[in-house]
Structure formats: structure tokens, C-alpha cells
Amino acid sequence: MRKLQQALMTGVSYMLPFIVFAGMTIAVTQMYSQYISPDVSAVNTLNGFAWIIMDMIPAIFGAYMAYAIGDKAAIAPGFIGGYIAAHPTVENTSASGFLGAIIAGFVAGYVVLYFRKLPFPEFLESIKKTLFIPVLTGWLLYLLMTYPVAMTIGVLNDVMIESLISLSESAQYAFLLGAILSAMCAFDMGGPLNKIAITFVFALWNEPSGIGFRVNAAVFPGIMVPALSVGIASLIAKSKFSQEEIDLAPASILSGLVGITEAALPYAFQDPFRVIIPNMIGAAIGGAIVMATGVSTTGVSGVFGLPMASQLLMFITAILVGVVCSVVLQILVRKPRVHDTSVAEKEDDLNFEITL
């Protein structure tokens, strides 16, 4: 289980730079077409290229997840399986999306590990890893992903997406989806649960319904609130934070603005319960507001995603409400720090001068 978790984290970590490139490119080109000129061929071509990269994300994810398990020989089979997960090769079968890509990465990695243990003739050892293992594993992944996975997981993926679309379009339930996703991002601040939520969001980006851009907006509070709120709270209530935490505040606030959640980790290590719970509550409130009001954005990474929002004022308001709630809760639950002066007094007693 630990190996699978590490593989998932590796797949997400290697996938994110592609997501950031594609997301930012799509956002910038769409803004250019919307506000400056819609008929610039180079801009439209760049936008199309960004969508091609976005379309290949499951393949990239599957490749690097397989790599984390089976090393270099597993990259090609993982890529093949992830690609078929997003692009079924047989008619009347469904794309299995990121669920299929996870299966592809897992199977490719462990099949490669198994093949490595099989005895090969000595004269084939030099090409075993570069020829036989990738090809044989690739064929196996093609068969697995084309038929059983597409016919089972693909159907399950369709049902999940349809359910999420229905949930997001129901005003009385949409807020719940936003709250859960945003709270997941705020819980471990860049950890496994955060990565699961982000992966789920990007898995929906290509959906024609546009739900991908709505859930993308809904996780912004979960990404921005933790680092912003701990930094602001430490500056407002200095008596309740250590000097080290106060010194970290400007960097934490700046990190929160650009969407680097991990900046809140030093605060969480000092006082996990009083940091994580308020962050989750604030993020959940912000995410609920975003989802309930139907805000969407094609942008990524903090303030860089704000200009692309469909309802900019509401988007900013939701994030600010989440930050305020988190800051207030942190200040309320924190206790004033008691500075132990006994050690200092003892040290002062030992300070004496020797004169000759």
C-alpha cells in the first residue's frame, strides 16, 4: 500500500508541470482572444496545442506512476495504458480516465518488476530492459486497457462524471462538492489528500459540460487559504505565535497568493489541530461559495487564475471569506504563548565578571 501511495504521488508530481503549462496557456490565449483579438492564428494554434497537452495528461500520469514502481522500462507501457484510458481504441467502449490511468501505471510497474525476475538467456540480458520488457508489457497493457478496463472502469467513470455533473448543477448540493474538494486540499497542504483532490479536478478538465473548470475554481480556496490565513493570523495575534512563525508570515502570505499551500506546513507542525481544522473550515466555506455560485476558471496557481474567472468579484469574495473565517478561528483557538523565563533567569544568575 505504501508503494502504491508513493507511486501515486510521483505520478501527480511529474504530471503537475504539464498541467500548469497547459492550464496557463489555455487561460492566457483565451483571455487574449476574448479581450484583444479573436482571430489571431498563432494564438488559436497555441491554444489548440495546449489542449493537446491537456489531453495527454492521463498518459503522462500513467507513465510516471509506472516509473515509480518499475523504473525506466515501465515508462512506455504506463504511457500506452494511460493514453488508452483517455482514448479508447474500440468503438462503444468508454474512456476510463484517471481511474484507468492509475490501473495502467500500477499494472505496468509491477509487470515490469515481474519480468525482471524471469531468467533470460545471457546474450539477451543487455537488451532485456530496453526491448523485451517494454514491448511485452506494452502489448499486455494494450489488451488490458482496450477491453476489460474500458468495458468496466470506463462505464464506472461515465457514471461518476454524470453524477458529478448532476450534483454540480443542483444548487442545493453543488456547495457540498465544492466544500469537500476545497477542504481536502487544505487538510494536508500538498500531501496525498491534496493531490487526490487536484488529480480529480484535472481529470474533469476535458469534459464538454464545463464541470472541470467549475471544480477547478472550487479548490482555489483550499489551495490559497491555508498559507494566507496562518501568515495573517500570526501578524494580527503576535502574542499567540512564536517569533519564528511571525518571521515566516510575509513569505507565507506571498506563497498563499501564488498558490503554494506547502508554506503553511511549518505552522501545522507547531500546532497541527489549531492550524489544520480552521484551515479546513475556511477552505470549505470558500469552496462551497464558489461552487454554489457557479464560478469557473481556466487558470491555475493562485492569483494567476483570478483574471480568467467567470465571476471575478464573487471568486475573490469567496476566497476572502474563507481566509477571514480561518484567521478568526485560528486566533480564537490559539492560546497565548507562555514564555518560560526561568531558564533565562538562571543564565543571568551565572553571568558575573572576573576582574584582575
For residue 346, being part of any structural domain is answered with: no
Average pLDDT score over residue span 95-121: 91
What residue type is assigned to position 106 of the chain? F
- Same-domain pairing of 182 and 161: no
Q: Which H helix or E strand runs over 5?
A: helix 2-35
For residue 344, being part of any structural domain is answered with: no
pLDDT score recorded for residue 66 = 96
pLDDT score recorded for residue 157 = 81
For residue 338, being part of any structural domain is answered with: no
Does residue 351 surpass a pLDDT of 70?
Answer: no
φ, ψ of residue 30 in degrees (nearest 5): -70, -40
φ, ψ of residue 39 in degrees (nearest 5): -115, 35
- Same-domain pairing of 219 and 281: yes
pTM for the model:
0.73
Task: Give the model confidence (pLDDT) of 139-182 as tens digits.
Answer: 999 999 999 999 898 888 888 778 777 777 776 788 898 999 89
Task: Give the model confidence (pLDDT) of 191-208 as tens digits.
Answer: 767 777 877 787 777 776
pLDDT score recorded for residue 344 = 43
For residue 351, being part of any structural domain is answered with: no
Q: Which three cell numbers stand for residue 308?
A: 480568467
pLDDT score recorded for residue 353 = 45
For residue 89, being part of any structural domain is answered with: yes
CA angle, 301 as apex, 296 and 307 as ends, to 5°? Answer: 50
What residue type is assigned to position 124 of the chain? L
Considering only CA atoms, which of 213, 208, 96, 202 is closest in space to residue 148? Answer: 96
pLDDT score recorded for residue 110 = 95
Task: Give the model confidence (pLDDT) of 22-40 as tens digits.
Answer: 878 888 888 888 778 888 9
Task: Indicate the average pLDDT of the chain.
Answer: 86
What residue type is assigned to position 314 of the chain? M
For residue 294, being part of any structural domain is answered with: yes
pLDDT band of 109, cuts 50, 70, 90: very high
Q: For the chain, give the percent of residues with pLDDT over 90.
A: 46
CB atoms within 10 A of CB 257: 17
pLDDT band of 52, cuts 50, 70, 90: very high
pLDDT score recorded for residue 72 = 93
Sequential DSSP letters for 323-351 = HHHHHHHHHHHPPPP----HHHHHHHHT-
pLDDT score recorded for residue 339 = 55
- Same-domain pairing of 132 and 192: no
Average pLDDT score over residue span 96-105: 89
Does residue 354 surpass a pLDDT of 80?
Answer: no
> What CA–CA distance (Å, rounded) separates 82 from 106?
11
- Same-domain pairing of 84 and 126: yes
Domain housing 123: 2-169
Tally of structural domains, the chain: 2
Q: How far is CA 183 from CA 280, 287, 322, in A?
A: 5, 8, 11
- Same-domain pairing of 176 and 162: no
Q: For the chain, give the percent of residues with pLDDT over 70.
A: 94
pLDDT score recorded for residue 68 = 94
- Same-domain pairing of 219 and 302: yes
> What CA–CA distance (Å, rounded) separates 48 from 92?
26
Does residue 352 surpass a pLDDT of 60?
Answer: no
Average pLDDT score over residue span 250-255: 93
Residue with C-alpha cell 474567472? 309
Bigger pLDDT: 12 or 289?
Answer: 289
- Same-domain pairing of 58 and 19: yes
Task: Give the model confidence (pLDDT) of 15-24 as tens digits.
Answer: 878 887 887 8
pLDDT score recorded for residue 167 = 75
Average pLDDT score over residue span 81-94: 90
Bigger pLDDT: 330 or 355?
Answer: 330
For residue 356, being part of any structural domain is answered with: no
Task: Give the model confidence (pLDDT) of 304-347 as tens digits.
Answer: 888 888 899 999 999 999 999 999 999 999 888 765 444 444 44
> What CA–CA distance (Å, rounded) separates 81 from 212?
23
- Same-domain pairing of 129 and 177: no
- Same-domain pairing of 161 and 203: no
User: Do 317 and 36 touch, CB atoms closer than 8 A?
Assistant: no
pLDDT score recorded for residue 143 = 95
- Same-domain pairing of 185 and 154: no
